[in-house]
Amino acid sequence: MNADHSPEIRLLQLVCTTDVPVEKKEQLTRFLSEYKLDWDRLYRLADRHRLTPFLYQSLQSLPNVPDSLVAALRTSYQVAAADNMIKLHQYRLLDKLLTDNGIAHIAFKGIYLAEHCYPVGSLRISGDLDVLVRVEDAFRTIELLRANQYELNQKHTLYYQDGEQRLLTELSEVSLFKPFFNNNYFDVDLHWKLLCFNKDYASFALDDLLAQTDYQTEVQVILLVTHHGVTNIWQQLYYINDLYFLLKDKDINWSWLLAEMRRYGMEQIFLVGLYWCQQIWKLPVPASVQTLVDAESVRQLAARYEKNWEADEPLAFSKLVLSQMAYFSKAQTQFGKRLRIFTTFGTSRVFRASTFKVGKQLIYVPKELGFVTVFVRAMRSLSRFFPATRSA
């Protein structure tokens, strides 16, 4: 563990374990006796990093832990466990609905990992249900879900109303939700392309992934690193747990996987993830891979990412977009890929449809007015970085 981290972040790394044997309890007890923790901040960080189930299972029987914290963690654990069971049931219904209607699809990320990779599904707090379909099935799938009580969110409804061609070319996914109880919803992120960095850099389609019949776990790893590493810059600790449980005890074709990561410019980002899997979980890897993980460049890149763990909230969208470019370019060892990152960052944002909020009204601007949207987005982003000061 990095000694530069706060004791709260270091403790969250320590509690990442599937069981709590005597030796682990003794280690945790020593840590709690040596460091003064801000219990409120610990809970906030555990919630932000989706580690409350791990924290609860580790601290519930230890001395000198506030009863109020244990009670809050217990409630969070129970809610997460019930939520996961409901979402798993809903995913199975969704899976059956798509299958019965002849729509090929795969699930990935949260619900897939909770069901297939984590030893106990309740340890993995899940959000949306992420499903990938073929582009030619996307509009039909949206209509099928809408006929089964799912609704498009306000933004994606505007694209949907502009027609099938517009929707499929301007977007790569839509979000749908289904009310089920007391203002709660099932959320589905329906993808027909999975973007790597942006639409002009690289993307994955369902048939691309299904064609790799011998590398299905490796494909899931690529999708995970694309989302957790490239898109979300490894800024939450549960991302590392996801990578660990996806790789744990799997027969991985490391040569193929690393070649694919290198092809998309994600090798260094993946190696950073492996580095943390070893720091937190002691993940074993082949000697040839270990040599790559041990490189100083990987440790330096990991140190840059880790600074985001201490924040009480994930990066806001505008700052995240710029951080994606900064971290992704920093991870490149080839000038050509670094140049492609910078050029596609601009081209992917010029001629495209956009939505803007004016008061409470959501305004849709078509692709033909792309330059207008560039200026509006630029001003909106600048206003977030430099909020207007108010006089007292």
Q: What is the mean pLDDT of the chain?
A: 89
pLDDT of residue 390 exceeding 50? no
First to last CA, the chain: 44
Bridge partner residues of 195 (DSSP): 203
Per-residue pLDDT, averaged over 172-200, amounts to 89
pLDDT, residue 391, reads: 38
pLDDT of residue 372 exceeding 80? no
**224-246 pLDDT, tens per residue?**
999 999 999 999 999 999 999 99
**111-143 pLDDT, tens per residue?**
889 989 999 888 999 888 999 999 999 999 999
pLDDT of residue 374 exceeding 60? no
pLDDT-based confidence at residue 50 (cuts at 50, 70, 90): very high
> How buried is residue 87: exposed, middle or buried, by Cβ count under 10 Å (0-12/13-18/19+)?
buried
pLDDT-based confidence at residue 358 (cuts at 50, 70, 90): low
pLDDT of residue 183 exceeding 80? no
pLDDT of residue 322 exceeding 50? yes
Contact 129, 87 (CB under 8 A): yes
**20-40 pLDDT, tens per residue?**
999 999 999 999 999 999 999
pLDDT, residue 186, reads: 86
CA distance 125 to 102: 30
| 9: nearest Cα among 34, 42, 33, 32 | 42
Q: Residue 390, CB half-sphere, CA atoms under 13 Å: how many?
A: 1
In this prediction, what percent of the chain has a pLDDT beyond 70? Answer: 88
pLDDT, residue 318, reads: 78
